[in-house]
Structure 1
Amino acid sequence: MPRYANLAEALKERALRRPDGTALAHPAADGTEHRVSYAALDARADAVAAWLRARDAVGRRVLLAMDPGPCAAVALLGCLYAGAVAVPVPAPSASRTDAERTASIVRDAAVDLVLTETAHATETSRRLSRIGRAGLTCLAIDGMRPDAGADTPRQPLRTTADSLALLAYDSGPATAPRGALLTHGNLTAAMAGLRRTLGTDHRSRIGGWLPRRHTPGLIGQVLHPLWLGATAVTLPAEPYRTDPLGWLRAISRHGITETLAPDILHARCAALLGDEPPAGLDLSRWRTALNAGEPVSAGTMAAFPHRCAPLGLRPGTLVAGYVPAEGAPVPLATGRAPVPGADFAVVDPLTGRRLPDGAPGEIWVRGPAVATGHWGRPSDTALLFAARVAEGPGGFLRTGDLGLTVNGRLRMTGRVRDALLVDGHTLHPQDVERELLRCAKALGSARVFCAGPGAGALVVVQEVVRTVGGVRTGLPRLAARIRALIAEEFGVETGALLLVRPGTVRGAGTAKVRRALLRERYLRGEVRALHAEFGPGVGEPCRGGAA
């Protein structure tokens, strides 16, 4: 493919070359596809770009608050065409944590304009007003005329590879999120890396359910297929939390050829398929299933292909990979960097010394697809994005992920930092613990952690400060309420839930028990529970009996 000054020029060229090709395919409620051609997508993106240019949006931050689907793609392309900086956030929902995070992002990024949809315009404006930003201009892009940009220049603004394109807020707790700085050059490099790793081309139909506000979903599942001149199949996330096999049905129905999904989804599908898979599923068109976003289980890598083989899944389709959170998703699935100039290292996080094959350490990455830093945090950027390997080169991103190499191939094993990886989502324990305090008056302090080292099934240890309706009859209802809150607020299932007496989490004094210490006690079966529940596939280490 020819070189372009920025990603927007490449996207515009695809639209001009394939005007009648299907750019976007969005599943409708009746199971059919709502399709958007490249010509229609380009025209709508031009209209958004014209609106942004009229408001001098070059280099300014534009909030994108909308559901996954065609409008989100239109808004993103419109920002790129206009030389604006896209700041994606989820559409308003019932989640208080998402609302708090969005408010923090609006303040941190100092956004100048807002793009949303008619269904969310009123609530978006209301929330902006609550944080003192009622004066922000907000546009519902689905209400624009298709020809609104017909009288304006139809070529993208001539930005450079170093121009900021995207602020990806994918790390930090809800009260203090951090935005990764992604330039046009970062995104273009990521496109080439994904094509090499996934084997994609203009015939691909790339689909998935990962959140579009995070880089794997936004870049891997929206921008990458459009950069290829292929089709992006935008699947909604909600159904697959309760019905993992619905993901396989969508892949079969829509002829999806490449996917990126976490290990837990592949594992759940393998477990539900059993020895007699359901009829009517055809996975023969699936070419690459990248298993990434959390530690990859050897059991999953064996079970999933075995269970899906009768459905037409070809050998070698499932590929283990690694996607760094702080930057564009360039998987290191083969143990070599897929982008020229990229590099990774497994190091001792205290000394920066490279570790030998098989020795666990922190994963460091660098290269043209890695974010350049955090917005408005120069000291943070210097610490995390300019690390130097002992007696070696600098410019590495400290990912905070634990990993090791096996015969030169990179494998992620967990997390160094506080963040948790659950069902492909990054959770911050303090966010979950804060929400649990709001769940019911009967609840006190909580500690949440993963069964694995920073990744795996979510474990909740929750103090009950007073009983409701009697201990034995009230606790199951309380547990169900906690599970429902976590699913609604954070989009993940609770693997293990232990309701415990006061003092288990808070301790004898005022300080809470450290998460790491409580996790060790849990794994040794030393946490005594009033009531305990364990999800499918989650062990029961808590054997101390009821208190």
Structure 2
Amino acid sequence: MTAATSFTRALAERFSASAGDTALLCLDETGRATALDYRELDARARTVAAALRGRRAAGVPVLVATDSGPDTVAALLGCLYAGAVAVPVPPPDASRAAAERTAAIAAETDAPLLLTHSAHAPEFSRRLADAGRSAVVCLAVDHLPAAAGDGEPAAPGPGDTALIQYTSGSTAAPRGVRVTHANLLAVMRALKDALRTDRTARIGGWLPLHHDLGLIGQLLHPLWLGATAVLMPQSLFAADPLRWLREVARHGVTVTAAPDSAYARCLAAVTDADLAELDLGRLAVAVNASEPVSAVTQDAFARRFAAAGLRTGALVAGYGLAEATLLVSVGGPDPARTTTVCAAALDHGTLTPPVPGRAVRTVVGCGRPAPDTVRIVDPDTSAVLTDETVGEIWVRGPAVTAGYWRRPTETAAAFAAVTARGEHGFLRTGDLGALSDGELYVTGRIKDALLIDGRTLHPQEAERQLARTGAPFGSAVVLAAAAEREEIVAIQEVHGTGWSTRQLAELADRVRGRLHGEFGADPGRVVLVRPGTVRRTTSGKVRRSLMRDLYLRGELRPLYARAAEGGLSP
């Protein structure tokens, strides 16, 4: 394939060269697969592109309602072929929060069109009208005339916007990241090198296509390679986490990816009988990314699923974000690199060897970033920090995007940062981490960090400890809330019904005891809530900023709440 100057041109050339090869396997909730070769996919994309050209959509944001079906893929590719700017949004059968997200994106982008399936068009039209966006035209991709598919794909420039990828909203309101054709080409080459992929790969999973890891990692990357994308509905994983691994085995998937919580759910669900029926021998790379990686999950999953043929070193940790077009670094083929450090020193911002008799923490390496792309920086002074010192992760390189859509103030704050020693062109990620011997260790997020008596507590670690407390506890979120002095609030889901006030008080004491014993932290308030209260993004990350807002506005409905001094709330 020649060196293309746009991602669209690269895809068109690949589709022509791979016409008879399988491009897609799209699974439904029952596991039934629909296959498309590159010739068929190209024809569908051209049909969508012709309809968009007829509506003069070149350079215009176009909403694409994403599920895991072939019509969604055709819609996304049709936008690229027409020179339109694809804006992936959740499918119509998602939650009310997802519907509100779509309406907000429609308003912010001023998109005049939405591409969807005919079965969903009326519902989308109704929801958009209810949100004051009745002018948005919903086009049914499956009802476009096939004869309209003539014409060559658009020829955008490297700096033109290819898509607007909205962030997950785990720490702030979702923001639209402007991903250029040059960004996509750069990350494709980086993924190929990092994951060791080629045309023989089968890459897939259940992450939704409005999530950057699902869209770029599990759809666009295999299509750029001329490989096969295996797309699974998110509902398949939600109903039974092990279905993900069974479909990986059944369809010979060689590369998959998911957040740490997904691997943890598989660990909790799997039995010896499941392992005996599972063959993961063809899975070459399983990436643990999209949220902080737990050393416990990483090690336990690798050991447990070795019985199902999972190769040593196949499970790797990665780090990336939408603002860097997905990827910053990912671990190599060796077993995951972990470092055990003194917990107290980590709380004070350094990776220090363990001290006998003192608590320890184990952090997971997320690979070696490309040379000269990452700095660890003091977020207040912009000073570059030495190895083993925790600071804000700053990133630069060809995959770092052009900024946020219609958010100049936030773009100026996050992009084109300059270190105190005059190095230019960095993205401020808002993530905390450290470099050690070239390896990147991610420890948390600035906005999430809880300051306790001069120490930094990362809530993800506290939430993992609460999850290991056992029945009847479910998901938890630990956050800081303003009081006379900033206090820690632990919101803990509790399974079951019929709890007495005394029993709930005992459960709250267990939460408080766990946090005190593990971290020396005494929450100002423990709030016990029903399952499903803790809000998550589509990839499973806790929406901590939303949970903080719900708590502060008094919109949570607790089963029980108790402040540190013992006061009760209904």
The alignment's TM-score, normalised by the length of structure 2, stands at 0.75
Cα drift, residue 94 of structure 1: 5.5
**SS of residue matched to 1:326:** helix
Cα drift, residue 406 of structure 1: 2.8
Matched, 1:290 2:322: no
Distance in 1, Cα, partners of 2:29 & 2:196: 31
**SS of residue matched to 1:24:** strand
Report % sequence identity.
46
The alignment's TM-score, normalised by the length of structure 1, stands at 0.78
Q: Which residue of 2 aligns with 1:240?
A: 237
Q: Which residue of 2 aligns with 1:376?
A: 406
Q: Which residue of 1 aligns with 2:382?
A: 352
Cα drift, residue 163 of structure 1: 0.7
Q: Which residue of 2 aligns with 1:443?
A: none
Q: Is the 8 A contact 2:376 2:434 kept in 1?
A: yes
Alignment equivalent of 2:184, drawn from 184, 187, 196:
187
The amino acid of 2:198's aligned partner reads: D
Q: Which residue of 2 aligns with 1:517?
A: none
Matched, 1:449 2:474: no
Distance in 1, Cα, partners of 2:395 & 2:536: 34
Distance in 2, Cα, partners of 1:229 & 1:159: 21
Going from structure 1 to structure 2, the CA distance change for 1:392 and 1:85 (only over 3 Å counts) comes to same
Cα drift, residue 276 of structure 1: 6.4
Going from structure 1 to structure 2, the CA distance change for 1:348 and 1:35 (only over 3 Å counts) comes to same
Cα drift, residue 422 of structure 1: 11
Q: Which residue of 2 aligns with 1:45?
A: 45
Distance in 1, Cα, partners of 2:5 & 2:137: 30
Going from structure 1 to structure 2, the CA distance change for 1:415 and 1:13 (only over 3 Å counts) comes to same
Q: How do 1:80-479 residues align onto structure 2 when only pairs under 5 Å count?
A: 80-93=80-93, 95-149=95-149, 152-153=150-151, 155-172=152-169, 176-273=173-270, 278-334=275-331, 335-338=367-370, 343-417=373-447, 449-450=477-478, 460=491, 472=501
Q: Is the 8 A contact 1:289 1:317 kept in 2?
A: yes
Cα drift, residue 459 of structure 1: 5.3
**SS of residue matched to 2:119:** helix
- C-alpha distance after superposition, 1:241-276 (max 9, x if no partner): 342222211111111100121122223323444666
Q: Is the 8 A contact 2:178 2:405 kept in 1?
A: yes
Q: Which residue of 1 aligns with 2:36?
A: 36
The amino acid of 1:312's aligned partner reads: G
Q: Which residue of 2 aligns with 1:15?
A: 15
**SS of residue matched to 2:114:** strand
**SS of residue matched to 2:385:** coil
**SS of residue matched to 2:392:** strand
Cα drift, residue 485 of structure 1: 5.4
The amino acid of 1:240's aligned partner reads: F
Cα drift, residue 168 of structure 1: 0.9
Cα drift, residue 417 of structure 1: 2.2
Going from structure 1 to structure 2, the CA distance change for 1:418 and 1:300 (only over 3 Å counts) comes to closer
The amino acid of 1:483's aligned partner reads: P
**SS of residue matched to 2:330:** coil
Going from structure 1 to structure 2, the CA distance change for 1:389 and 1:274 (only over 3 Å counts) comes to farther
**SS of residue matched to 2:77:** helix
The amino acid of 1:413's aligned partner reads: T
The amino acid of 2:417's aligned partner reads: A
Work out the number of aligned pairs and report it.
Answer: 474
**SS of residue matched to 2:215:** helix
- C-alpha distance after superposition, 1:406-430 (max 9, x if no partner): 322112111112599999xxxxxxx
Going from structure 1 to structure 2, the CA distance change for 1:255 and 1:531 (only over 3 Å counts) comes to farther
Q: Is the 8 A contact 2:492 2:528 kept in 1?
A: no
- C-alpha distance after superposition, 1:254-306 (max 9, x if no partner): 11100121122223323444666532211110011111111122222222221
Going from structure 1 to structure 2, the CA distance change for 1:70 and 1:135 (only over 3 Å counts) comes to same
Q: Is the 8 A contact 1:216 1:328 kept in 2?
A: no
Matched, 1:65 2:97: no
The amino acid of 2:19's aligned partner reads: P
Cα drift, residue 159 of structure 1: 0.8
Q: Which residue of 2 aligns with 1:524?
A: none
**SS of residue matched to 1:118:** coil
Alignment equivalent of 1:483, drawn from 531, 534, 554:
531
Q: Is the 8 A contact 1:116 1:140 kept in 2?
A: yes
Q: Is the 8 A contact 1:348 1:354 kept in 2?
A: yes
Distance in 2, Cα, partners of 1:488 & 1:406: 31
Cα drift, residue 481 of structure 1: 8.4
Going from structure 1 to structure 2, the CA distance change for 1:47 and 1:475 (only over 3 Å counts) comes to farther
The amino acid of 1:141's aligned partner reads: V
The amino acid of 1:113's aligned partner reads: L
Distance in 2, Cα, partners of 1:488 & 1:362: 24
Distance in 2, Cα, partners of 1:291 & 1:264: 9
The amino acid of 1:88's aligned partner reads: P
**SS of residue matched to 2:55:** coil
The 4+ residue runs of structure 1 with deviation greater than 6 A are: 419-423, 468-471, 473-476, 487-491, 493-496, 541-547
Cα drift, residue 471 of structure 1: 6.3
- C-alpha distance after superposition, 1:219-257 (max 9, x if no partner): 111100000001111111123234222221111111110
In the alignment, structure 1 segments of 5+ residues that lack a partner are: 424-447, 453-457, 463-467, 497-503, 513-527, 533-540
The amino acid of 1:369's aligned partner reads: A
- C-alpha distance after superposition, 1:142-183 (max 9, x if no partner): 12244431xx31x21111100111111115589953211100
Cα drift, residue 98 of structure 1: 1.4
